[in-house]
Structure 1
Amino acid sequence: MSLLHQSHLHGERLLIDPWAHGTGIMRAVLARFNWTASDLDITHVGSIIAIIGAAPAGWRLLRSAWHETYGWIRQFFLASVTVPGGDPVNKNCVKWLASNRPRHHRAFTGRTEIGRGDATDRAASLKKTRRAVQYAPHWDSRWFWFNGRLFVATRDNFSSSAMSDPAYDGVGGEELTISCFGWSIEPVQTFIEVAREWADRQTQYFVIIYGRDRYGMSWQPKTRKPIRLLDTVHFDDSVKQELLDDVRNYLDPRTQRRYQSRSMPYRRGYLFYGPPGTGKSSLSTALAGEFGLDLYEVKVPSIASDSDLEQMFQEIPPQCIVLLEDIDAVWIERTSRSHSPDRRSERSSGSDRDHSRSNCTLSGLLNVLDGVGSQEGRIVIMTTNKPELLDPALVRPGRVDMKVFLGNITPASAEQMFVRMFSPDELARSDNAKSGPQRGVVVDMDEVRSLARDFAKAIPDNSFTPSQLQGFFQLYLDSAHAAAEGIASWVEKEVARQVEGGFEFLENGIVKRL
Structure 2
Amino acid sequence: MSQPFHAGGVANHHFVDPLNIIRSLAARWSELDITHLGSIVALAGVAPSAWRFARTAWSEVYGWIRRFFIASVTVPGRDPLNRNVVNWVLANVIESRKIRFFTARTESQLGRDDATASLKKTRRRAQYLPHWETTWFWHEKNLFIVSRSLDSFNASMCDPGYDGIGGEELTISCVGRSAAPIRHLVDTCREYSEKQMQFFVTIYSRDRYGISWQPKSRMPIRQLDTVHFDDKVKDELLSDIRKYLDPKTQRRYRNRSMPYRRGYLLYGPPGTGKSSLSTALAGEFGLDLYEVKIPSVPADHDLEQMFQEIPPQCIVLLEDIDAVGMERDAGEKSDHSSIHSNRSNCTLSGVLNVLDGVGSQEGRIVIMTTNKPEQLDSALTRPGRIDMKVFLGNISQKSAKQMFIRMFSPELDTSESPLDIHEIESLGSQFAAQIPEDAFTPSQLQGFFQLNLDSPVDAAENIAVWVEKELSRKSKDEGVEIVRQAHPQF
TM-score, scaled relative to structure 1:
0.82
Contact in 1 for aligned 2:274/2:392 (Cα 8 Å) = yes
Separation in 2, partners of 1:257, 1:420: 40
- Aligned-partner SS, 2:381: coil
Task: Indicate whether 1:58 and 2:44 are aligned.
Answer: no
Q: Could you say if the C-alpha distance between residues 68 and 131 of structure 1 is closer, same or farther in structure 2, counting changes exceeding 3 Å?
A: farther
Separation in 2, partners of 1:126, 1:480: 22
1:355-366 matches, cutoff 5 A: 357-366=343-352
Structure 2 counterpart of 1:444, one-letter code: D
Separation in 2, partners of 1:128, 1:484: 32
Contact in 1 for aligned 2:133/2:150 (Cα 8 Å) = no
Q: Deviations over 1:226-283 (max 9, x none)?
A: 1100000000001001100000000000000000111111000101000000000100
Separation in 2, partners of 1:210, 1:373: 22
1:120-269 matches, cutoff 5 A: 128=121, 130-156=123-149, 158-159=151-152, 161-269=155-263
Separation in 1, partners of 2:329, 2:189: 55
Task: Indicate whether 1:85 and 2:61 are aligned.
Answer: no
Contact in 2 for aligned 1:80/1:180 (Cα 8 Å) = yes
Contact in 2 for aligned 1:415/1:455 (Cα 8 Å) = yes
Separation in 1, partners of 2:437, 2:100: 62
Separation in 2, partners of 1:405, 1:50: 87
**Structure 1 residue 210: deviation in Å?**
0.9
- Aligned-partner SS, 2:383: coil
Task: Indicate whether 1:468 and 2:454 are aligned.
Answer: no
**Structure 1 residue 24: deviation in Å?**
6.5
**Structure 1 residue 213: deviation in Å?**
1.4
**Structure 1 residue 359: deviation in Å?**
1.2
| 1:444 maps to which of 416, 420, 423 | 420
**Structure 1 residue 416: deviation in Å?**
0.4
Contact in 2 for aligned 1:110/1:134 (Cα 8 Å) = yes
**Structure 1 residue 182: deviation in Å?**
1.3
- Aligned-partner SS, 1:249: helix
Separation in 2, partners of 1:192, 1:109: 26
Separation in 2, partners of 1:27, 1:174: 59
**Structure 1 residue 104: deviation in Å?**
4.0
Q: Could you say if the C-alpha distance between residues 121 and 249 of structure 1 is closer, same or farther in structure 2, counting changes exceeding 3 Å?
A: closer
- Aligned-partner SS, 1:393: helix
Out of 51-60 and 105-114, give the one that drifted further: 51-60
Contact in 2 for aligned 1:326/1:385 (Cα 8 Å) = yes
Q: Residue in 2 aligned with 1:382?
A: 368
Task: Indicate whether 1:100 and 2:92 are aligned.
Answer: yes
Out of 327-336 and 475-484, give the one that drifted further: 327-336
Separation in 2, partners of 1:231, 1:337: 47
Contact in 2 for aligned 1:162/1:173 (Cα 8 Å) = yes
Contact in 2 for aligned 1:85/1:158 (Cα 8 Å) = no
- Aligned-partner SS, 2:73: strand
Q: Residue in 2 aligned with 1:482?
A: 458
Task: Indicate whether 1:419 and 2:405 are aligned.
Answer: yes
Q: Could you say if the C-alpha distance between residues 125 and 24 of structure 1 is closer, same or farther in structure 2, counting changes exceeding 3 Å?
A: farther
Separation in 2, partners of 1:237, 1:113: 40
Separation in 2, partners of 1:140, 1:29: 46
Q: Deviations over 1:317-375 (max 9, x none)?
A: 1011111111111112414599xxxxxxxxxxxxxx96xx1111111111111112211
Contact in 2 for aligned 1:408/1:462 (Cα 8 Å) = yes
- Aligned-partner SS, 2:302: helix
Task: Indicate whether 1:111 and 2:105 are aligned.
Answer: yes
Separation in 2, partners of 1:28, 1:289: 81
- The alignment-based identity, stated in percent, is 64
Out of 86-95 and 292-301, give the one that drifted further: 86-95
Q: Deviations over 1:16-48 (max 9, x none)?
A: xxxxx9986654668xxxx94565333334434
Structure 2 counterpart of 1:364, one-letter code: G
Separation in 2, partners of 1:337, 1:214: 40
- Aligned-partner SS, 1:100: helix
Q: Could you say if the C-alpha distance between residues 455 and 121 of structure 1 is closer, same or farther in structure 2, counting changes exceeding 3 Å?
A: closer
Separation in 1, partners of 2:22, 2:35: 16
List alignment gaps of at least 5 residues for structure 1: 1-20, 339-352, 429-436, 504-514
Separation in 1, partners of 2:78, 2:32: 61
Aligned residues: 452
List alignment gaps of at least 5 residues for structure 2: 1-16, 333-340, 480-490
Structure 1 counterpart of 2:398, one-letter code: A
**Structure 1 residue 202: deviation in Å?**
1.2
Q: Residue in 2 aligned with 1:407?
A: 393
Out of 485-494 and 60-69, give the one that drifted further: 60-69
1:499-510 matches, cutoff 5 A: 499-501=475-477
Separation in 2, partners of 1:121, 1:485: 26
Q: Residue in 1 aligned with 2:264?
A: 270
Separation in 2, partners of 1:461, 1:28: 102
Separation in 2, partners of 1:125, 1:236: 31
Task: Indicate whether 1:319 and 2:313 are aligned.
Answer: yes
Contact in 2 for aligned 1:158/1:173 (Cα 8 Å) = no
Q: Deviations over 1:380-429 (max 9, x none)?
A: 1111111111111111111111110000000100000000001021234x
Out of 66-75 and 232-241, give the one that drifted further: 66-75
Separation in 1, partners of 2:115, 2:371: 40
Structure 1 counterpart of 2:166, one-letter code: G
Separation in 2, partners of 1:206, 1:29: 71
**Structure 1 residue 118: deviation in Å?**
6.2
Structure 2 counterpart of 1:253, one-letter code: P
Structure 1 counterpart of 2:368, one-letter code: M
- Aligned-partner SS, 2:453: coil
| 2:298 maps to which of 280, 304, 307 | 304
Structure 1 counterpart of 2:104, one-letter code: G
Separation in 2, partners of 1:477, 1:91: 39
Q: Deviations over 1:99-128 (max 9, x none)?
A: 122434322222222232362698x88983
Separation in 1, partners of 2:324, 2:237: 26
Separation in 2, partners of 1:492, 1:69: 83
Q: Could you say if the C-alpha distance between residues 367 and 241 of structure 1 is closer, same or farther in structure 2, counting changes exceeding 3 Å?
A: same
**Structure 1 residue 466: deviation in Å?**
0.1
- Aligned-partner SS, 2:322: helix
Contact in 2 for aligned 1:230/1:283 (Cα 8 Å) = yes
Out of 132-141 and 189-198, give the one that drifted further: 132-141
TM-score, scaled relative to structure 2:
0.86
Q: Could you say if the C-alpha distance between residues 302 and 362 of structure 1 is closer, same or farther in structure 2, counting changes exceeding 3 Å?
A: same
